Structure 1
Amino acid sequence: MAKYSFEFKKQIAQEYLSGKGGYSFLAQKYAVGNKDKKMVCKWVKAYKEFGDEGLMRSRKKETYTFEFKLHVVELYISTEVSYQELALSVGINNPPLIAKWVNDFRIAGPDALRPKKKGRKKLLGLTDKEKNIPSALDSTAIDTNVEYVKQLEDELLKLRIENAYLKELRRLRLEDEARLREQQESSTASEETSN
């Protein structure tokens, strides 16, 4: 995939916003890569929402809270919006990040969205002999009540999201069945009138 400069993307977005052409026209005019008008559309939306920052490649590492990630994943699963639209609505300039969160959530549940500790555990003040022997105190020092409650909360949240998803799926299926019934009734009614 070709990388486009900030100035190039801004020029195209400004031309679109000033009415000098549509997505397809501008994509052809500037010979934008394989995705043609989708790429131009993405640039225009990002420019309208975030201004110049929407078109710049971000070099800073944004961190998001577990609650925010979970909220965004819930929004995606329970609504019929694209990653691009959802990213713009929640103020993220990186739609593939939302796709990653959703995939991680579907694979491993809410725990996949929790922040992970970086690096190795430090064993300060221990001799080489003590480092190799697992301590009985390590296994008992963990407060299982807090972990158990957290696990139950995660499970409850996962079940709520799954429930909302299944309700939406059921609603869509019922709509399809009703539409099919209407089509069958209209086709049988037209056959009766033709006979």
Structure 2
Amino acid sequence: MVKYTDDFKAMVVREYLEGTIGYERLAKKHGVKSNRQVRDWVNAYKKFGMEGLVRKKRDAIYSVQFKLDVLNFMKRTGASLADTALHFGLTNTPMVAVWKKKFLNGGAEALDNPKGRPVMSDKAKNVKKNQKPTQENEMTREQKLERENELLRLEVEYLKKLRAFQMDPDGYLEKHKQRYHSNSKKNSH
């Protein structure tokens, strides 16, 4: 996947906003893979300013509940990936597609798996050095049950919110709109 610099995106958006050239011609002129990409940049800029064009650092962590809310919104409203991302203040549209794919393949539990390896503390590094290679660091039965319970709680909470949304979509969205915007601002720092 091609990654464009923030300055490049800003230049393309400025050129569009000058009004002399459309999405398709801009994409061709600058070698952007699709005019949809240019449109997404323009919409993000209009809604969030320059901050809308800046990719968030990879260490941004979103809760499983937030991811479920995003996916639920997209399913219920029929919003596109880009519109959903804009609604929740997410500047990385493909991330929503990744969440959707994970959810469809593995349910809510799949959304809880962080990308990559977890960072190892100094204490854990020392313990690992002293371990025999045959020993496995497996979760105890109790830990597995606690994790399963937490995931089930999240799923029940998700289903409750889904039902509330189905009964009154406009009221639900209005009630939770402020919370989503404040959550996305917290996660962007």
TM-score calculated relative to the size of structure 2: 0.61
Q: SS at the partner of 1:43? A: helix
| Distance (whole Å) between structure 2 residues aligned to residue 128 and residue 146 of structure 1 | 26
Task: Give the conservation status (yes or no) of the 8 Å contact 1:66–1:115.
Answer: no
Give the aligned length: 158
| Distance (whole Å) between structure 1 residues aligned to residue 26 and residue 43 of structure 2 | 15
Structure-2 change in CA distance of 1:4 and 1:160 (3 Å) = same
**TM-aligned CA deviation for residue 14 of structure 1:** 1.7
Structure-2 change in CA distance of 1:104 and 1:31 (3 Å) = same
Q: Of residues 53, 71, 80 in structure 2, which corresponds to 1:55?
A: 53
Percent identity over the alignment is 32
**TM-aligned CA deviation for residue 155 of structure 1:** 5.1
| Residue 83 (str. 1) matches residue 81 (str. 2) | yes
Aligned to 1:94: 92
Q: SS at the partner of 1:109? A: helix
Structure-2 change in CA distance of 1:23 and 1:148 (3 Å) = closer
**TM-aligned CA deviation for residue 96 of structure 1:** 0.8
Structure-2 change in CA distance of 1:21 and 1:100 (3 Å) = same
Task: Give the conservation status (yes or no) of the 8 Å contact 2:103–2:110.
Answer: yes
Gapped regions of structure 2 (runs ≥ 5)? 165-189
Structure-2 change in CA distance of 1:110 and 1:15 (3 Å) = same
Aligned to 1:43: 41
| Residue 7 (str. 1) matches residue 7 (str. 2) | yes
Q: Of residues 102, 105, 108 in structure 1, which corresponds to 2:106?
A: 108
Aligned to 1:73: 71
Give the structure with higher Rg (CA): 1
The residue identity in structure 2 corresponding to 1:10 is: A
The residue identity in structure 1 corresponding to 2:107 is: G
Question: Greater relative contact order (Cα 8 A, min sep 6): structure 1 or 2?
Answer: 2
The residue identity in structure 1 corresponding to 2:109 is: D
Structure-2 change in CA distance of 1:158 and 1:58 (3 Å) = closer
**TM-aligned CA deviation for residue 43 of structure 1:** 1.7
Aligned to 1:26: 26
Q: SS at the partner of 2:71? A: helix
Task: Give the conservation status (yes or no) of the 8 Å contact 2:64–2:111.
Answer: yes
Task: Give the conservation status (yes or no) of the 8 Å contact 1:15–1:21.
Answer: yes
Structure-to-structure mapping, 1:125-144, within 5 angstroms = 139=140, 142=142
